[in-house]
Amino acid sequence: MQLSTILAEIGLDEATLRYGTLAVRSPIDGALIGNVRTHSAAEVDGAIHSAQQAFDAWKLVPAPRRGELVRVFADILREHKEALGALVTLECGKIRQEGLGEVQEMIDICDFAVGLSRQLYGLTIVSERPGHRMAETWHPIGPVGIISAFNFPVAVWCWNMALAVVCGNSVVWKPSEKTPVTALACQKLFADAVAQVGTVPPGLSQLLIGHADVGAQIAADRRIPVVSATGSTAMGRRVGPVVAERFGRAILELGGNNAIVVCPSADLDMAVRAILFGAVGTAGQRCTTTRRLLVHEDVYASLVPALKKAYGSVRIGNPMDPGTLVGPLIDKAAFDNMQAALGSAGGQVTGGSRVLASEFPHAWYVQPALVEMPEAARTVQHETFAPILYVYRYRSLDDAIRLHNDVPQGLSSAIFTNDLREAERFLSVAGSDCGIANVNIGTSGAEIGGAFGGEKETGGGRESGSDAWKGYMRRSTSTVNYSTELPLAQGISFDL
Ligand code: UN1
């Protein structure tokens, strides 16, 4: 699909991509997609003001009616799934299947949020006092700031937006400066939904394009009570303290260093397929990408050669081609980081070199790398956002779990085993310390129904399903006295 066809399908005016100062290039071939206008500090301030005004009106709209807007948006996404999915591929380089999958993830979270719009339940609580009733009510909280990364340029915004909007909030979105065009497309489609529904306050969804300074301004602004930020741990270290200093709430979804443990009883064919998708899918550029593989010594000799064979036959190339499984890295900096990590890996490297350089001299395609680590090596501590899989051999599950948890990050994890005891132990408090722990499926590709996020340097935030919506609302605890007495809690006597 050509850019002009995509833009026409979505209804995004090509002129939007003509007059800005931010040059956007496709990682597929380095070609210019367009020049996009960035927002000044004054414009950011104005957008936050509009979001505040929209919030004041939107919070009074009954939640099921707020859900109606998200329902209409999901229908519009269904209609434009092909075009938006293609634009995702063009701008961030993930393969067509994954571009479409990302739009599907938007649709799924919208559907979830529509149901949620009738289920923003609070507890009723028994009171210790006679003739009293206690209850919790969840209220809209205010404009929600969303800072998102290049690798999921549309879905992560939608996880946050869909929940925030049914919860009665407005949103202020700063996408990655590498992927502003998909953001403009989302904003256009959202505007279509607003127009179709009719009674939505203007300014409910704000899009702010720019560099880190725009994110910093959102993080520091007291009018934004919740800031949801997805990206590197380094980014989270900058955003988190600024939000905390003003007692805002940060939902942080930061780096991962995700591992799969393969046990002696594992179905190895299944494990190879899951490891391959987890480690080389999205060219290793998911926060849930499998970065470490812990293999029991009894199956090492069967699993690792099978995996190397699979690595050897994976199709690398233009992500628009239906046969491609691995597209390009986002840019040269990503390639350089990968080479630096491989240079200091301390193990035996297979793959990792640049490919297709003559066909795509201005793009960065790589052969995914496997690094077999020596026995005594400490597990790698850093996340490199590229397809590098570090492989370790282990003897006992105790060792594997120790190695597994010996990293600063705690996002996603998986075990391949047919032994119930091993599986349950991995999921127990004595097992994986991650926010996501799986059995017989890989580390990436989570469904939206579960809460998504992780512990330690991953930031502790939860987005998407389960009760993550509570992060986008404020809780009010009420005690109602319907008696004619005024007993005090804890039996305190305070009579004249
Ligand atoms: C991310 O990389 O920031 O579980 C999000 C997954 C996807 C989301 C990844 N559903 O891999």
The residue among 383, 431, 428, 77 whose CA lies nearest residue 255 is: 383
Length of the chain: 496
**Atom nearest to 446 CA in ligand 1:** 4
> Which residues does 359 contact at the CB level (< 8 Å), separation at least 6?
none
Q: Using CA atoms, how far apart are residues 65 and 68, in angstroms rounded to an integer?
A: 5
pLDDT value at 352 more than 90: yes
Q: Using CA atoms, how far apart are residues 58 and 60, in angstroms rounded to an integer?
A: 5
Provide the pLDDT for residue 214: 98
CB 112, CB 449: distance < 8 Å: yes
Distance 221 CA to ligand 1 centre (A): 28
Residues marked as catalytic: 253, 287
Distance 156 CA to ligand 1 centre (A): 8
C-alpha separations of 350 from 264, 268, 284, 408, 490 in Å: 24, 20, 15, 26, 67
Averaged pLDDT for residues 116-145: 98
Residue 153: count of CB within 10 angstroms of its CB = 26
What secondary structure letter does DSSP report for 38? P
Distance 443 CA to ligand 1 centre (A): 9
What's the pLDDT tens digit per position in 3-28?
A: 999 999 999 999 999 999 999 999 99
pLDDT band with cut points at 50, 70 and 90 for residue 266: very high
**Atom nearest to 447 CA in ligand 1:** 10
Q: ∠ CA 12-13-15 to the nearest 5 degrees? A: 140
Averaged pLDDT for residues 105-123: 98
Q: Judge if the beta carbon of residue 445 lies within 6 A of ligand 1.
A: yes
The residue among 275, 360, 335 whose CA lies nearest residue 311 is: 275
> Which residues does 287 contact at the CB level (< 8 Å), separation at least 6?
149, 151, 230, 253, 254, 255, 256, 411, 412, 458
Distance 177 CA to ligand 1 centre (A): 19
Q: Using CA atoms, how far apart are residues 202 and 247, in angstroms rounded to an integer?
A: 28
Q: Give me the residues paired with residue 314 across strands.
A: none
What are the backbone dihedrals phi and psi of residue 250, each rounded to the nearest 5 degrees, phi first?
-105, 135
Distance 231 CA to ligand 1 centre (A): 11
The residue among 420, 417, 386, 418 whose CA lies nearest residue 400 is: 417
Q: 3-class DSSP state for residue 110?
A: helix
CA dihedral over 152, 51, 239, 464, signed as positive or negative: negative
pLDDT value at 337 more than 90: yes
Burial class for 376, CB neighbours closer than 10 Å (0-12, 13-18, 19+): exposed
Tell me the angle at which helices 81-92 and 3-10 cross, rounded to the nearest 10 degrees: 140
Provide the pLDDT for residue 150: 98
Q: Give me the residues paired with residue 350 across strands.
A: 370
CB 294, CB 372: distance < 8 Å: no
pLDDT band with cut points at 50, 70 and 90 for residue 68: very high
Query: Which residue from 88, 102, 152, 260 has its CB within 8 A of the most atoms of ligand 1, so it is best to mutate?
Result: 152
Averaged pLDDT for residues 145-170: 98
- Structural Rg of the chain based on CA atoms: 24
Q: 3-class DSSP state for residue 295?
A: strand
CA dihedral over 216, 202, 465, 111, signed as positive or negative: negative
Provide the pLDDT for residue 1: 85
| For ligand 1, atom 6: residue with the closest CA | 445
Q: Which helix (H) or strand (E) holds 439?
A: strand 436-439
What's the pLDDT tens digit per position in 85-104?
A: 999 999 999 999 999 999 99
Q: 3-class DSSP state for residue 390?
A: strand
Q: Judge if the beta carbon of residue 286 lies within 6 A of ligand 1.
A: yes
Averaged pLDDT for residues 316-344: 98
Q: Judge if the beta carbon of residue 410 lies within 6 A of ligand 1.
A: no
What are the backbone dihedrals phi and psi of residue 415, each rounded to the nearest 5 degrees, phi first?
-125, 140
Q: Judge if the beta carbon of residue 443 lies within 6 A of ligand 1.
A: no
Q: Using CA atoms, how far apart are residues 64 and 70, in angstroms rounded to an integer?
A: 10
| For ligand 1, atom 3: residue with the closest CA | 287
Q: Using CA atoms, how far apart are residues 185 and 389, in angstroms rounded to an integer?
A: 34
Query: Which residue from 411, 452, 462 has its CB within 8 A of the most atoms of ligand 1, so it is best to mutate?
Result: 452
Helices marked H in 281-431 — which ranges? Answer: 297-313, 332-343, 397-405, 420-427
Provide the pLDDT for residue 377: 87
Query: Which residue from 157, 330, 444 has its CB within 8 A of the most atoms of ligand 1, so it is best to mutate?
Result: 444
Q: 3-class DSSP state for residue 413?
A: strand
**Atom nearest to 151 CA in ligand 1:** 2
Distance 102 CA to ligand 1 centre (A): 9
What's the pLDDT tens digit per position in 389-430?
A: 999 999 999 999 999 999 999 999 999 999 999 999 999 999
Provide the pLDDT for residue 376: 82
What's the pLDDT tens digit per position in 171-220?
A: 999 999 999 999 999 999 999 999 999 999 999 999 999 999 999 999 99
Query: Which residue from 98, 100, 254, 288 has its CB within 8 A of the most atoms of ligand 1, so it is best to mutate?
Result: 288
Distance 199 CA to ligand 1 centre (A): 33
CB 407, CB 379: distance < 8 Å: yes
Torsion of CA 363, 367, 372, 373, to 10 degrees: 0
Averaged pLDDT for residues 431-450: 98
Averaged pLDDT for residues 442-469: 98
The fraction of the chain above a pLDDT of 90, given in percent, is 99
Q: Please give the mean pLDDT across all residues of the chain.
A: 97
Q: Give me the residues paired with residue 139 across strands.
A: 474
Averaged pLDDT for residues 265-284: 98
Provide the pLDDT for residue 361: 98
Averaged pLDDT for residues 218-227: 98
Distance 444 CA to ligand 1 centre (A): 6
**Atom nearest to 253 CA in ligand 1:** 3
- What pTM does this model have? 0.97
Burial class for 104, CB neighbours closer than 10 Å (0-12, 13-18, 19+): middle
**Atom nearest to 286 CA in ligand 1:** 2
pLDDT band with cut points at 50, 70 and 90 for residue 243: very high
Q: Give me the residues paired with residue 253 across strands.
A: 230
What secondary structure letter does DSSP report for 176? -
Q: Judge if the beta carbon of residue 446 lies within 6 A of ligand 1.
A: yes
